[in-house]
Amino acid sequence: EDQVTQSPEALRLQEGESSSLNCSYTVSGLRGLFWYRQDPGKGPEFLFTLYSAGEEKEKERLKATLTKKESFLHITAPKPEDSATYLCAVQAPGQAGTALIFGKGTTLSVSS
Amino acid sequence: EPEVTQTPSHQVTQMGQEVILRCVPISNHLYFYWYRQILGQKVEFLVSFYNNEISEKSEIFDDQFSVERPDGSNFTLKIRSTKLEDSAMYFCASQPVRREAFFGQGTRLTVV
C-alpha cells in the first residue's frame, strides 16, 4: 500500500533557527512528490514538485530535496510568517489526474 | 491570479439530509478532484473527474456520494444522506496538464 509519513508532527523554532522537515514515502513508481503549505482553516497552497532522486527546488527560505525514499523541506532562517502546516503528497504512476496521497503534515511554529 | 472557488464556506446540516457542495475550478484546467480532511487528520482523496466522467475514486466515495459538472464551469459534490462522520473540510482541486493541482479554500461541513 502506498504510504506517506511525515516527521516531526510538530516543530517549534525561534526566528532565524534553521531546520528540516522529513517526508518518507513508499510508492511503487513515483510520478511526483509535492509539498504544500496549509494555513489553519484554509486549503493547501502549492510549494514544490519533485520528480526524480537528486532533484532540488528553492523558493525564498524553503528548499526541497528528493531521494529514492524520502524528501526534505529545509527552512533557512525562518520567520514567524512561515508558521503553518507543511504537507507532503505523492502521486503514483498512472494516467494524469491520479490522486495525491497525503501525509499528516508537520505543523511549524516560528516565534520571534 | 486565477483560483478555485468553493461555496459555501461553511454548511451546517441535519443528519440524513442531502447537501451539495459547489466548486468553480480554474478555467482551461482538465482534471478535477474532491478531497476531504476530518479535523486533525490527513487530507484524503475522494474522487477525480476527467472528460465528464469519474476517472478514479476511493473507498470513501460510496453510493452516498456523487459528482457532476452540470454546465461546463461548476463542479459539484453531492452527499445524499449525511452522517455525523461526514463532518469535515471538503476541498475541491483542479489541475492543468503536466502541472500541480490547485486547491480551493474548502467548505466546512458540519452534520448535527
Q: How far are the Cα atoms of A13, A17, A76, B84, B107 from residue A110, in angstroms, in the given order? A: 5, 9, 12, 35, 28
Contact A87 B31 (CB under 8 A): no
C-alpha cell at B21: 457542495
B58 to chain A, any CB pair closer than 8 A? The answer is yes
Chain B residue numbers touching A42 (CB-CB < 8 A): 105-106
Task: Provide the shortest C-alpha distance from residue B38 to chain A (in Å).
Answer: 11
B30 to chain A, any CB pair closer than 8 A? The answer is yes
CA B111, B4, B31, A47 dihedral sign is negative
- End-to-end C-alpha distance for chain A, whole angstroms: 41
* Average pLDDT value for chain A: 93
User: Taking residues A90-98, what's their average pLDDT?
Assistant: 73
A42 to chain B, any CB pair closer than 8 A? The answer is yes
Among B50, B74, B71, B49, CA closest to B61: B49
pLDDT of residue B91: 98
pLDDT of residue A57: 98
Residue A106 has pLDDT above 90, yes or no: yes
pLDDT of residue A98: 80
Residue A29 has pLDDT above 90, yes or no: no
Higher pLDDT, A10 or B98: A10
Q: How far are the Cα atoms of A36, A50, B33 from residue A60, in angstroms, in the given order? A: 15, 17, 29
pLDDT tens sequence across B53-75: 999 999 999 999 999 998 878 99
* Test mutation, A23, A25, A102, chain B, max B CBs within 10 A: A102
B4 to chain A, any CB pair closer than 8 A? The answer is yes
Contact B50 A100 (CB under 8 A): no
**3-class DSSP string for chain B:** CCCCEEECCEEEECCCCCEEEEEECCCCCCEEEEEEECCCCCEEEEEEEECCEEEEECCCCCCCEEEECCCCCCEEEEECCCCHHHCEEEEEEEECCCCCCEECCCEEEEEC
Which residues have C-beta within 8 Å of that of residue B99, sequence separation ≥ 6?
A: none
pLDDT of residue A27: 85
pLDDT of residue A95: 61
Q: Which of B43, B58, B95 sits opposite A87 (nearest CB)?
A: B43
Q: How far are the Cα atoms of A41, A67, A68, B32, B94 from residue B74, in angstroms, in the given order? A: 23, 39, 39, 10, 11
pLDDT tens sequence across A33-85: 999 999 999 999 999 999 999 999 999 999 999 999 999 999 999 999 999 99
Enumerate residue ranges in chain B where pLDDT < 50: none
